[in-house]
């Protein structure tokens, strides 16, 4: 079995120390094979915030960490840096790669940089990115769980969240579904949910699941929802996938299981 820890929107600079400690403890207990942080690593893309994030990731008990940027990881108030070196502090702390990938016998994970310095909070996926990801998905091994990680969501539940949808999301969903994607991981709106996109989009003819994560450790929770992360458990022999949502419980200062979903894969 392969275990993936999916966290998002850590927003270091607004982190809650007791929640961050609890998340490190969860990872120590579970020992995931891979951790995916789907953007908004920091609150304001400052060097000190990235330094704290780097220390946190170094302490996270996962042998591989795959991180993509979110809109908060580009300077907001430093206009010069935003225009001429938007990923400077990010790359200094986390490496030069903005669209990292991972592949082993159990999983193929493709990170996509959906941030655009000129779009402020909005995200975008280009035709070139959609095609690149599609070709990589088509090359997946038969038993691999095929995962795409973006920051902004490709599907939202609420009318008020539609402004947060990834530009180009419909084209991406249809192309990646046809290419064999199983899961699309996202964050950005600080709400955890799982939906089968086959049921939401007419041209999607096989199960493809959006798995959205809440905010992992930040005090910037939404609508009173607790901090949360996802544990994705995959059994390649049966092509069986289970997602466990783990919520922070203030009474015990631990992350505890809040929901379990079995996802049908084609």
Kindly give the residue spans of alpha helices, DSSP state H, lying in 98-213: 127-138, 169-179
Closest CA to 217 of 4, 52, 5, 18: 18
**Order of strands across the sheet that contains 228-235:** 65-68, 34-38, 2-7, 228-235, 240-249, 254-263
* Local confidence pLDDT in tens for the 266 residues of the chain: 799 999 999 999 999 999 999 999 999 999 999 999 999 999 999 999 999 999 999 999 999 999 999 999 999 988 889 889 999 999 999 999 999 999 999 999 999 999 999 988 999 999 999 999 999 999 999 999 999 999 999 999 999 999 999 999 999 999 999 999 999 999 999 999 999 999 999 999 999 999 999 999 999 999 999 999 999 999 999 999 999 999 999 999 999 999 999 999 99
Closest CA to 165 of 123, 222, 223: 123
247 Cβ partners below 8 Å, 6+ apart? 226, 227, 228, 255, 256, 257, 258
User: In this structure, what token pair is assigned to residue 102?
Assistant: 């991972």
Q: How many residues does the chain have?
A: 266
Domains along the chain? 2-263 (3.60.21.10)
User: In this structure, what token pair is assigned to residue 178?
Assistant: 């046809």
pTM: 0.97
- What is the C-alpha separation between 74 and 81, in angstroms, rounded? 8
């Amino acid at each position: 079995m392969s275990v993936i820890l999916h966290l998002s929107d850590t927003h270091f600079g607004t982190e809650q120390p007791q929640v961050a400690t609890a998340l490190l403890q969860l990872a120590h207990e579970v020992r995931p094979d891979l951790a995916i942080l789907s953007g908004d690593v920091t609150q304001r893309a400052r060097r000190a915030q990235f330094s704290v994030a780097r220390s946190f990731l170094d302490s996270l008990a996962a042998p591989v960490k795959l991180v993509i940027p979110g809109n908060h990881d580009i300077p907001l108030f430093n206009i010069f840096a935003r225009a001429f070196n938007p990923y400077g502090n990010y790359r200094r702390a986390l490496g030069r790669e903005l669209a990292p990938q991972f592949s082993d016998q159990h999983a193929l994970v493709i990170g996509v940089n959906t941030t655009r310095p000129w779009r402020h909070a909005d995200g975008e996926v280009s035709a070139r990115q959609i095609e690149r990801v599609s070709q990589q998905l088509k090359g997946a091994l038969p038993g691999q769980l095929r995962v795409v990680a973006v920051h902004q969501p490709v599907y939202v539940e609420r009318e008020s969240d539609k402004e947060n949808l990834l530009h180009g999301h419909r084209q991406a969903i249809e192309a990646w579904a046809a290419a064999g994607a199983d899961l699309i991981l996202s964050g950005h709106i600080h709400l955890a949910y799982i939906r089968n996109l086959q049921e939401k989009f007419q041209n999607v003819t096989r199960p493809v699941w959006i798995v959205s994560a809440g905010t992992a450790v930040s005090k910037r929770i939404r609508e009173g929802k607790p901090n949360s992360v996802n544990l994705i458990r995959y059994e390649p022999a049966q092509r069986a996938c289970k997602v466990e949502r783990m919520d922070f419980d203030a009474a015990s200062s631990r992350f505890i299981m809040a929901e379990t979903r079995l996802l049908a894969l084609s």
